[in-house]
Structure 1
Amino acid sequence: MTSVPDPWPAPRATSPVDAVVTLPGSKSLTNRALVLAAVADGPSVVRRALRSRDTALMAAALTSLGSAVDTAGEDWSVTPAPFAGDVAVDVGLAGTVMRFVPPIAGLTRGTVAFDGDAHMRNRPVGEVLTALRGLGVQVDGDALPFTLRGSGTVRGGTVVVDASASSQFISALLLAGARYEQGVDVRHDGTPVPSLPHIDMTVAMLRQHGVEVDDPGSGGGANRWTVAPGPVRPVDHVIEPDLSNAAPFLALAAVSGGTVTVRDWPRATTQAGDALRGILAQMGCEVGFTDAGLRVTGPDELQGVDLDLHDVGELAPAVAALCALATTPSHLRGIAHIRHHETDRLAALAKELGGLGADVVERPDGLDLRPAPLGGGLFHTYADHRMAHAGVIVGAAVDGVLVENVATTGKTFPDFAGFWSGLF
């Protein structure tokens, strides 16, 4: 990664930006593909895999359990093997590693100890661990650090979880369920599950592997997902560009009045980031597909929006940054759950955008923003890549914004700062 100062002076767009960008692969797709490859009946290849800290941690975790994960090239090969215990797993700052690996680690013979970065010790995982106990796995602890003691098999069966804090609680159990003796029947009891597109992504990928899944879309009920026990067919996945990582780049078109095209944007996808098309159109941008990908052209003035972002909460930091630059008020709702992401994103956004002059009010489940003149200053990121994205978006439109620890973007986009600077 290119060395950058800390804090980093965010580049200012002094004229309309005209750029075509090729984004790294989706973290969500890459890590799901790796997990499924590790429990499949034969070798698989994950093509165009995202190479980032989160995916490297997932590959390392699966390797420590016994799978052979070759990450030397652009396409990563995975050869499954019986899981062995008495290992340690570093989850870093990766929620997918902390939540997706324990359900398959339960299939080991031996002990698997989990820990990670200090910031991760505040992120919720207890619902997954409680569920695993109910499915027959011995677990010591309810938060990082915790330990699983596997017997080589997992009974499985029915389990009730409150997934109102994270859809990953559901996905984690579904990804492993076909390898449990009774499969898994996951029932949600709580306020509506956030980020449902991520569960749709999990279900779609399980079906690609030949796994039988009953979900809300096929009559399973709005709060119930069932995975039948059975084989997991090896599948070679081609990873789509990370559409959530497209947010700052498309936002750059929006704030500069320029045009940015993201190559290879899929016409149909389960990625939550696809919602950017509709959001940016509501804010006044011209949005459309070309032969190259998705093209966004910014307006003369950004319009505020009234949005329920419950299903696409990961977009909230970038959208909030745009709303702080809009010429009419905005109301972002339905995102109380993002208080439990890498940081309390609602509190962090209110503090950092407010520190630059934004008229922002923090609500229990969202933010209200009204037009106000913004100025330069230090924008803290809280070791959160999405907060860094918000900072650089504002910095593209406002002189003198300094982004603290922009290197945290390496979680999903290696050398983001260098790539971003090259667009100006």
Structure 2
Amino acid sequence: MDAPLPWLAPYRDAPLDARVLVPSSKSLTNRALVLAALADGPSVVSRPLGSRDTTLMADGLTALGATVERTPGAWTVSPGLRTSPSPVTVDCGLAGTVMRFLPAVAALGSGAVVFDGDERARERPMGTTISSLRALGVHVEDEERSRLPFTVHGTGGVDGGVLEVDASASSQFVSALLLAAPRFAAGLDLRHVGASLPSLPHVDMTVAELRRRGVAVDDSEPDRWHVLPGPVESLDMEIEPDLSNAGVFIGAALVTGGRVAVRRWPERTQQAGDAWHRIVEAFGGSSARDDSTSDGDMVFTAGPELRGVDLDLHDVGELTPVVAAVAALAQGPSHLHGIAHLRGHETDRLAALATEINRLGGEVTETDDGLHVVPRPLHGEVFRTYHDHRMAHAAVVLGLRVPELFVENVKTTVKTYPNFAPVWERLVA
């Protein structure tokens, strides 16, 4: 199939003033689906994100024995685990949550499950998933690749117990084990050893969702999670808007000197995207809740100047591409750090951002754990996305201030934001 033609990103020479409702959270949707598949009864997930990543998760759970009935606005999940010895394949696409969450679920069932995905997925680090399952007594075949594809041979259960892992490459390795841990015979006493754990809010989200379903989790000690064995209670829940996806619109407000109201922003959340409050303030802007609206709008407003920033994004690395795009248009240099782990994301995001912004005339230098961004006059060019939805978000933010900027494969945004391109055009054009 021919690659899609590059898409001309809308340019805007006036401040943005908009109100937007972003799709539901991928992180919450996929955690809710996994826990519903392991629960003690059916669960209804309302307002789920319908995207490539969540579809792959639902399809994967179905292959592993659950039933997912999908209707507009709500998915009903009936739990179940495989009892058939015949092998099945789970397509992970490029979804980290699928390739890392579902192997532990597969180990709880019976039979062989082959995990594979996109070409880039075969480059993503999976050694911690494989070694962790082996340490728990699960038979995994990977031909010593420590990458996709690999095969998990479930024998109807996992003993659990004490386990040490080095999850410094991705917090998803911790969340994956925690989600399945209540179904382990002895639960799980999980301890992270190694460099600082990245994206900790995602682990906090996992723990919060376990507790909402009656699972006992002790996380009082840093880098240690003790999950007691027991039932996972069924739970009907509504998914919050994806605050990370809101970042592209917040970035638009910042670079155009405008404002954006994000509808249904939760008052309390474990989402990493809630960090946009402090990020906007660092760039010289502000945020405030508009209680006059029924949807609980959060309004982000640009300041009188777009300042350079010095930001530790270790816990919220997924926000880096849009932050880097905003920094490239700021009035002073920026230093983004704590994000060495982004080299193992959908693409090497540090190298990709430096390469693409520099091709536009920018000055971005990779450091050991981040990026140094010096604003320069930018010119139009094709901005490559590397099949990474966050790279596409960075591109369209730059396109607001850089004429004739074309985005290669903007459709990669369907990973977490269906119909993003037409929504963006309507909002900013």
Category of TM-score, reference length = shorter chain: over 0.9
1:82 and 1:335 map into 2 onto residues whose CA distance is 37
Matched to 1:316, the amino acid is T
1:334 and 1:405 map into 2 onto residues whose CA distance is 29
Deviation string 1:181-208 (CA, Å, 9 cap, x unpaired) is 1111111111000000000000000000
Partner of 2:274: 274
Matched to 2:22, the amino acid is L
1:82 and 1:65 map into 2 onto residues whose CA distance is 6
Matched to 2:283, the amino acid is M
Partner of 1:26: 25
Structure 1 residue 72: deviation in Å? Answer: 2.2
Matched to 1:384, the amino acid is D
Q: Name the SS for the 1:33 alignment partner.
A: helix
Matched to 2:178, the amino acid is L
2:366 and 2:170 map into 1 onto residues whose CA distance is 21
Is the contact made by 2:82 and 2:111 (CA closer than 8 Å) also made in structure 1? Answer: no
Matched to 2:223, the amino acid is N
Partner of 1:262: 262
Aligned counterparts, 1:179-190, within 5 A: 179-190=183-194
Is the contact made by 2:6 and 2:407 (CA closer than 8 Å) also made in structure 1? Answer: yes
Q: Does 1:249 align with 2:249?
A: yes
Structure 1 residue 300: deviation in Å? Answer: 3.8
Deviation string 1:355-403 (CA, Å, 9 cap, x unpaired) is 1111111111101111211111111100000011100010011111111
2:286 and 2:165 map into 1 onto residues whose CA distance is 42
Q: Name the SS for the 2:366 alignment partner.
A: strand
2:52 and 2:328 map into 1 onto residues whose CA distance is 30
1:275 and 1:53 map into 2 onto residues whose CA distance is 25
Partner of 1:368: 372
Partner of 1:119: 120
Is the contact made by 1:113 and 1:148 (CA closer than 8 Å) also made in structure 2? Answer: yes
Deviation string 1:263-296 (CA, Å, 9 cap, x unpaired) is 0001110000000111011111131111341111
1:106 and 1:170 map into 2 onto residues whose CA distance is 16
Matched to 1:378, the amino acid is V
**Greater Cα shift, 14-23 or 291-300:** 291-300
1:169 and 1:82 map into 2 onto residues whose CA distance is 21
Q: Does 1:153 align with 2:157?
A: yes
Structure 1 residue 137: deviation in Å? Answer: 1.0
Q: How many residues align?
A: 417
Aligned counterparts, 1:100-119, within 5 A: 100-119=101-120
Deviation string 1:224-255 (CA, Å, 9 cap, x unpaired) is 11111111100112100000001110111111
Q: Does 1:51 align with 2:50?
A: yes
Matched to 1:53, the amino acid is R
**Greater Cα shift, 317-326 or 251-260:** 251-260
Partner of 1:137: 138
1:419 and 1:102 map into 2 onto residues whose CA distance is 35
Partner of 1:382: 386
Q: Name the SS for the 2:308 alignment partner.
A: coil
1:84 and 1:22 map into 2 onto residues whose CA distance is 42
Is the contact made by 1:6 and 1:406 (CA closer than 8 Å) also made in structure 2? Answer: no
Gapped regions of structure 2 (runs ≥ 5): none
1:261 and 1:190 map into 2 onto residues whose CA distance is 40
Q: Does 1:97 align with 2:98?
A: yes
Stretches (4+) displaced over 6 A: none
Is the contact made by 1:162 and 1:189 (CA closer than 8 Å) also made in structure 2? Answer: yes
Structure 1 residue 87: deviation in Å? Answer: 1.2
1:371 and 1:107 map into 2 onto residues whose CA distance is 51
2:284 and 2:83 map into 1 onto residues whose CA distance is 54
Percent identity of paired positions between Structure 1 and Structure 2:
57
1:122 and 1:284 map into 2 onto residues whose CA distance is 38
Q: Name the SS for the 1:25 alignment partner.
A: coil
Q: Name the SS for the 1:397 alignment partner.
A: coil
Partner of 1:353: 357
Structure 1 residue 176: deviation in Å? Answer: 0.1
Aligned counterparts, 1:384-399, within 5 A: 384-399=388-403
- Counterpart selection for 1:323 from 327, 330, 333: 327
Aligned counterparts, 1:235-246, within 5 A: 235-246=235-246
Gapped regions of structure 1 (runs ≥ 5): none
Matched to 1:12, the amino acid is Y
1:275 and 1:184 map into 2 onto residues whose CA distance is 30
Q: Name the SS for the 2:111 alignment partner.
A: strand
Is the contact made by 2:311 and 2:337 (CA closer than 8 Å) also made in structure 1? Answer: yes
2:4 and 2:181 map into 1 onto residues whose CA distance is 45
Structure 1 residue 407: deviation in Å? Answer: 0.4
Is the contact made by 1:155 and 1:181 (CA closer than 8 Å) also made in structure 2? Answer: yes
Partner of 1:201: 205
1:28 and 1:122 map into 2 onto residues whose CA distance is 22
Is the contact made by 1:288 and 1:296 (CA closer than 8 Å) also made in structure 2? Answer: yes
Partner of 2:79: 80
Q: Name the SS for the 2:265 alignment partner.
A: coil
2:83 and 2:99 map into 1 onto residues whose CA distance is 18
TM-score with structure 1 length normalisation?
A: 0.97
Is the contact made by 2:277 and 2:286 (CA closer than 8 Å) also made in structure 1? Answer: no
Structure 1 residues 49 and 227: alpha-carbon distance in aligned structure 2, compared to 1, 3 A threshold: same
- Counterpart selection for 2:405 from 368, 392, 401: 401
- Counterpart selection for 1:211 from 202, 209, 215: 215
Q: Name the SS for the 1:63 alignment partner.
A: helix
Structure 1 residue 5: deviation in Å? Answer: 5.6
2:113 and 2:256 map into 1 onto residues whose CA distance is 49
2:258 and 2:173 map into 1 onto residues whose CA distance is 40
Matched to 2:248, the amino acid is P
Q: Name the SS for the 2:177 alignment partner.
A: helix
Q: Name the SS for the 1:318 alignment partner.
A: helix
Matched to 1:224, the amino acid is R
2:276 and 2:206 map into 1 onto residues whose CA distance is 21
